[in-house]
Each structure stands twice: as structure tokens, then as C-alpha cells.
Structure 1
């Protein structure tokens, strides 16, 4: 007798097949939205049909990615997709936070949001596309790894065999995440102490700690910033920055994050293409897909560091969630590129 989960998943799978018959190129996230489920639930319904559920310590799994050689890493949120080609190298963890520090695959990992993992094989351009896909407790994707023609498929096969879960039921129990706490009223923030702390920052990484210390959201921090440290700019500024960086051959950094991973690209951008509601960077080693119509706020932000001020363009959606962050390319110990600062301040 089929259990309820199997029946539900079978029904969901049939709905997906019917949808793909009408729209063969529909993306997984879009298909999930159309069917009223999370992307993780939709993928889990395909377990046994080219999808394998994984189990084990996700931190140890990530260390195992190094064996694959060159792959494509993908991290996204609702309004931006960030794809880079490179290797998983220099991987380290401090508790539930981790780093991958290859020049191309540059990640900040937050393992408390990694709850489900799957190995996926789907037909693709006269062959099979293999990937590993990881999801939050609510079924939202946190990070994906795709094999390329340069990847070691034998290492991938061995990895999947090692981490295949005993339970291959085609179902994922997506749990609702705790709602965000309401924003603390501006009047309750110690404005003077907040401004002083901001002016005395020593590192861009200290910014998040400052937000937590004062209990402010990121967009609230923009409003409460010391004079001259945050300036609201046009919502078109992200596209302007990409276009100007291309024109000036200016190396930039592009940050896009999910709840479980922030993925960073450092370098030049060259091929820029508008496709419907998406503005794209389509370079050989880096792709960015930006749904720029979702940008509801954009700010040029200055953060003091021991190497001098660092300038960023930060763009947010209507809920105050970060869509993407843009910086001039730089390394610790090196001052910010003057041309980037000029570009940002001219927005």
C-alpha cells in the first residue's frame, strides 16, 4: 500500500511532467513556484528518477568537492543568480561557518541553513548534466555544484555512492522557517553609539557584527548611518555599475547570497546582455543573472577599514533583503581602487 508521502510525490511528479510537456525549458525554481511547492520538494519528488538523496555531514561533503576538479558553482536568491567556474580549494570551517578561498570559487558558508542534499542527473544537450543540490529546511536552494567537461566524473560517482542515503523515499518535509523579527523602531536605537561604532570600523567584515550589536536591519543601518557614509541612489545603479566597469575594464567584486552561502566573483565583466526582465553577465568563467526590476532600494555605502575606506553599492528587494553587493576588486592590505570609488560616488 502506498503511503501518503509517496502518493503526494507521485501526484507532484505528474504535475511537473505535464508542465514540462507544455514548457520544456522551464527552470526548476519557476516550476516549483507554478506548482505551489518549494524547489526542494519538487526535486525530492523525483528521487529514483535521476535524483538520489544524500546523507552525512555537509561540511565533510564540501571538503570532498575538491576531488571533482573544475566545476560550476551556483548560488542564488529570488532576484540574482551567480555562477562561477573554478575549483573548491582552501576549504576551512570554524564551527558552523566556513570558507572556500579559490580565486574563482570564493564562498562564505553558513551551515545552519544546509538541511537537504541531492545528487541529480538530467538529460542535457545530447548528454547528461550532473549536479549536487543543497536546500534549507524550507526547501529553498542554498547552493549547487554542476560538473563541467573538465570535471572528474569518476570522483563524482564515488562521492555519490559514499553519501547515498538509506532512505530514498521521494519526499521532502519542508518546514516553515521562523518569521523575521519586526524591525526595531529607529527611535529605540542608540544613534550616537551606532554612528561612533560605524566610524571606527576596522574591517568590512565587522559591519555585520555592528548590525547585530545594535539590533538593526541592513536597510535600517543605511537610514541611520553617520552623515556621508550611506547615500541612496537610483535603482538602475547596479546596471550602471556593470556597464561602466565594462567600459573602463575595471575589476569589480560581485556578491550574491542565499541563506546558506555567499558567493563572490572578483574580476572584469565583458559580455552584458539584456534578456527580458533579466540583466546578464555572460562571460566564460562568470555569469550573473540580475532581475533588476526587483531592486527597491540601492545605496552607496562607505565602510572604514585599516586599509582606508571601502565603498560598496548595495541593492535590496521590497522586503529589505540583499539582492547583490558590488565592490571594487581588492585584497586585504591593499587600498580600494580609485577608479571604483569615483564610479560609485558618481552614481
Structure 2
């Protein structure tokens, strides 16, 4: 087991050779977790937080205008705004502001840190295996005094304690799907009244998300290319249509609702670079993209599901909608035009 000091020295050497490398990439290169790397800076630029992170999140609105960041390996989702309507039902939480829109799964929030990167202050939270679940960055318009007060309120008594991360067990090998009752699954799909029922269907028929989409009734799912995905983004930008982009870590789903405007490709990354919303999508890691059409009591809901090579969900994209209101026809038109072409 590598000591904290030895890891600190390895990371310092890595940063010398790779000054532009992000901490998440550095951790992978060094064979440790991001939280392990941060912990090497305890007492310097990092302070450990403790206590009930649900209560801490209820205090985040005092910070004012901030940037919320949630990511997985293949997408970074950054949304600026104010945390509003923070609530919890046991270990599941919601943040329901017009800008910051989150679904929180607190059983994955194991470690918390206050981080100061050359004056850029943030609150960063990690799963038991050291994977980042959510980060909150101050902006020029944030309340720094409120941030300092929050950090003091939740500051851990022992700032020298080495953290112990515990890896999750690897996924079990896939079982045969030959015994899936495809007809019953498709009938259940067609009987849905709400898109959230899809999660229950997957559990009932023991399918992962991509398998369920592959088995959809005819006309209710189809595969498209990365170029077609980009064409959809370009078209909604041209037509100024508001969309919803969901990105998730193990402990958080973050949702952008609104238009996308400035679309930029940089190397393997496809980006949205707008004042309030940034998205960085690793397009070379997308293995499949599916259009899905799910029936609800408000009519068909059209979505895009992006998956990596391991079948993990990268992101979900929908037209802007709310329960009780039919989906925008303009969004359906864009998706249908691009898939037909």
C-alpha cells in the first residue's frame, strides 16, 4: 500500500511532466483514485469535511451564484446558477432551481473536501472508491464569506487522517438473455404511462438499459451515428429549441434545461461553450447512440441515449418538457429529420 507521502511525490513528478493533465486523468495514470490524490494535499490546499452532507447541501444556497459540475468518464456537465429548493427524502435528494437541477443519491457521498486551486475555491464530493460524484465551484459572483463559514461549519476535526477508499466489486459477467420474454417486455413498453416506468421494466425483465432499448417494439428505438447526434445538436441550436441534457455520476444526476448555442469540436471532445452551460463530450468513446420513443399519458417522449463500450450510460438528451405537457413537436421533427436522412 503506497504511503500518502510517496503518492504525493509521484503526483508532483507527474504534474511536472504533464502540467495540463486533469486530476481525474492523473489518478488513472497513477493507478489511484481522485480522492486519494486530493488527500495528499490535506493541510495545504485541501481541507477535509465531515458531518451530514445532506445538511451541508441545504447550506449551499447561501453561496449564491456558483458552478455545479457532474461528470463520468466520457462527459463533463457544468451548469452555473443558484442552488434552490434543496430537499431530501431519506438518502435521496433534489435540487430544483431553474438553473441547478439535480437528483442526489447520498449513499454514494462518502468523502467531502474544500479545495483551493490557486484561488479557485470549490466543494468536492467522492464515492467510497474515490470517484468524484459532484463538485461546486465558486464564481466571481459567489459569496466567499458564506463559503468560508460553510467550510468552518463542516470542517473535520482531524485534517491529518489518511482516507481509505474501497473499490466497488467488478461487474458480474452478463447472463444469457435467451430466457427474456421479449413479447411481454414489448407489450409492457407499449403500456407505459410515464417514462420513469422504464426503470421498473428493466428490473422486472433483468435487463440493463441498452439491452432494454435494443429489445424495444418496432419503431420505438433506432440507432444513429455520432455525426447524426452532432447534426441534432446543430439543428436545435439553429432553431433555438430548448433541450434537456442529463449527465450522471454514481451519486448525482445533473440536468441542463435550455438552449445550446456555441458548439465546438476540439480533438476528441464535442463541446457546448455557453455562458451558463458547458458540456464536454468524449465523442470517440461513444459506442452507440439510440433514439428511443416511449409512450406516456401525454404522448410519445423522444430521447437520445448515449452508451460507451462497456454499455455504461454516458448521457441522455430530450426536448424540454414537463409532466402533463406533450413533448415539443419541433424536437420530434428535428430527431425524425436527422434519422430519416
TM-score bracket for the superposition, by shorter chain length: over 0.9
Residue in structure 2 matched with residue 194 of structure 1 by the alignment: 185
Say which of 11, 14, 18 aligns to 1:19: 14
Say which of 151, 154, 160 aligns to 1:160: 151
Q: Determine if contact 1:48/1:170 at 8 Å carries over to the other structure.
A: no
TM-score scaled by structure 1? 0.94
Q: Secondary structure at the match of 1:188?
A: coil
Distance 1:181 1:196 in 2: 29
Say which of 32, 51, 57 aligns to 2:52: 57
Alpha-carbon shift at residue 95 of structure 1 (Å): 2.0
Say which of 177, 183, 186 aligns to 2:174: 183
Q: Determine if contact 1:236/1:292 at 8 Å carries over to the other structure.
A: no
Residue in structure 2 matched with residue 206 of structure 1 by the alignment: 197
Deviations 1:111-170 (A, max 9, x none): 1111111000110xxxx1000000111111000000011111111111110111122226
Residue in structure 2 matched with residue 36 of structure 1 by the alignment: 31
Distance 1:184 1:98 in 2: 33
Deviations 1:22-75 (A, max 9, x none): 332321111112222111111111111110111111111111111111100000
Say which of 67, 70, 74 aligns to 1:75: 70
What is the number of residues matched between the two proteins? 338
Residue in structure 1 matched with residue 164 of structure 2 by the alignment: 173
Show the 5 A alignment for 1:1-347: 8-123=3-118, 128-169=119-160, 171-345=162-336, 346-347=338-339
Q: Determine if contact 1:313/1:344 at 8 Å carries over to the other structure.
A: no
Distance 1:252 1:271 in 2: 14
Q: Which runs of 5+ in 2 are unaligned?
A: none
Distance 2:192 2:172 in 1: 26
CA RMSD of aligned residues (A): 1.4
Deviations 1:181-205 (A, max 9, x none): 4334222222222112211111122
Distance 2:171 2:203 in 1: 14
Q: Determine if contact 1:9/1:170 at 8 Å carries over to the other structure.
A: no
Distance 2:23 2:242 in 1: 32
Q: Determine if contact 1:184/1:215 at 8 Å carries over to the other structure.
A: no
Q: Determine if contact 1:183/1:217 at 8 Å carries over to the other structure.
A: no
Distance 2:82 2:162 in 1: 31
Distance 1:193 1:92 in 2: 37
Distance 2:178 2:308 in 1: 24
TM-score scaled by structure 2? 0.95
Deviates more, 1:174-183 or 1:239-248: 174-183
Task: Give the ranges of 4+ consecutive aligned residues of structure 1 lying more than 6 Å apart after TM superposition.
Answer: none
Question: Residues 196, 95 of structure 1: CA spacing in aligned structure 2 closer, same or farther, 3 A cutoff?
Answer: farther
Distance 1:237 1:110 in 2: 33
Q: Which runs of 5+ in 1 are unaligned?
A: none
Question: Residues 27, 170 of structure 1: CA spacing in aligned structure 2 closer, same or farther, 3 A cutoff?
Answer: farther
Q: Secondary structure at the match of 1:31?
A: helix
